[in-house]
Amino acid sequence: MKITNIDYWKEDMKLTRPYAVTYVMHDSVQNIFVRIDGSNGLYGLGAGSPSKFVTGELIDENCKDRLSELEENIVGTDIEGFRKTIANLAQIYVDKPALLAALDMALHDLFCKTFGISMGKYLGIRLQPLPTSITIGLKNVQETIDEGLEYKDRDFKVIKLKIGASIEEDIERSIKLREAIGPEMLIRVDANQGYNVSTFQQYIQATKEANIEFYEQPMTPALTLDMLLLTDQQRTLCAADESLHKLGDALDLVALNRPFGIFNIKLMKCGGSSEAIRIADVAHARNIQLMWGCMDESVISISASLNTALACHATRYLDLDGSLDLASDVAKGGFKLAEGILYPLPDIPGLGVSLL
Ligand SMILES: [Mg+2]
């Protein structure tokens, strides 16, 4: 079955809840979208969230220029050989992981639709559905508590608290949040590289009563060797985010003495499900647990992340809340959210999403 057409465009999507990450406010987000049509009348969808700071790529100013390049490489290829097409695209878009991720998922979507199976069935989902965390950004103590209580009311089971701007405030927010929401919800934290060995250990000691589940990226990638100064137990509870983009980073990390016990895989960092599964295999072989993260993303890419996550043995944690704060999206479906748990859609072909 031949691919007959491709569309590529970008959309500005407003956020219902503007947030700050290390002092920069975000109130809308631009995603790119891909639609690939087959001669059988079916289409596959992909979405990407390029970001200079996270994926290292700028969003295309002129989607038309990129489109002609995509047409050249994709239109006319056979969907049955989609893995070869993805491998070719991975050579071309080495430095454009979010674009590559969008193409990877659109090809998976069309391939799976063509054969009438969900992406989860194709990849081999082997895990039960898991809860997703929902993020509280860098806010003051009262706003942190208010948002935590709101998420408790909405039946979320896990909060991811952004910290790393001020050690004193981080400690206070963590303890007060725990006091407010009670003992049952999990709290994991993301320091976004804000600490060094000494401030990170200070934070761990001071927040024992807050019962923090684990710690994402306490220090910058430049301080990876300093991570080895932490205890084994502390490192086991640290997740690599900014330190882990692609397969090569995973190999570099496992060559060291386990600076991180958890890898945070994001399709936008690594270039899509194909590369994500390779990273997941390395983690599994070295007894490293996986979390799956995202940016502000359409349900299209959240579905691809969820289906890939649940197909990997080492997956323990989901942080796939990226579509929940979008005021508008171009597609619907992809998963069901109930009591904070994300359920894939195993009976709908492909990613289980359709254009609105
Ligand atoms: Mg992070």
* CATH fit for domain 121-355, picks 3.20.20.120, 3.40.50.620, 3.90.1150.10, 1.10.8.60: 3.20.20.120
Tell me the backbone φ, ψ of residue 223, rounded to 5 degrees: -100, 20
**246 Cα: distance to centroid of ligand 1 (angstroms):** 15
Dist. CA 296 → ligand 1 center (Å): 12
What separation in Å is there between the alpha carbon of 108 and the centre of ligand 1? 26
CATH, domain range 3-115 = 3.30.390.10
**How far does the centroid of ligand 1 lie from the alpha carbon of residue 217, in Å?**
6
Question: Which residue intervals of the chain are DSSP H helices?
Answer: 63-74, 82-92, 97-114, 119-123, 141-153, 167-181, 197-206, 224-227, 232-236, 247-255, 267-270, 273-285, 299-309
Q: What is the pLDDT along the chain (356 residues), one digit of tens a residue?
A: 999 999 999 999 999 988 766 567 788 999 999 999 999 999 999 999 999 888 899 999 889 999 999 999 999 999 999 999 999 999 999 999 999 999 999 999 999 999 999 999 999 999 999 999 999 999 999 999 999 999 999 999 999 999 999 999 999 999 999 999 999 999 999 999 999 999 999 999 999 999 999 999 999 999 999 999 999 999 999 999 999 999 999 999 999 999 999 999 999 999 999 999 999 999 999 999 999 999 999 999 999 999 999 999 999 999 999 999 999 999 999 999 999 999 999 999 999 999 99
> How much distance in Å is there from the Cα of 190 to the middle of ligand 1?
6
Q: Report the separation in Å between the CA atom of 85 and the middle of ligand 1, taken as the mean of its atom positions.
A: 31
Residue 28's CB is within 10 A of a number of other CB atoms, namely 13
Q: Which residues are near ligand 1, the ion (C-beta closer than 5 Å)?
A: 190, 216, 241
Domain boundaries, the chain: 3-115, 121-355
Q: How far is the CA of 242 from the centre of ligand 1 (A)?
A: 7
Reported pTM: 0.97
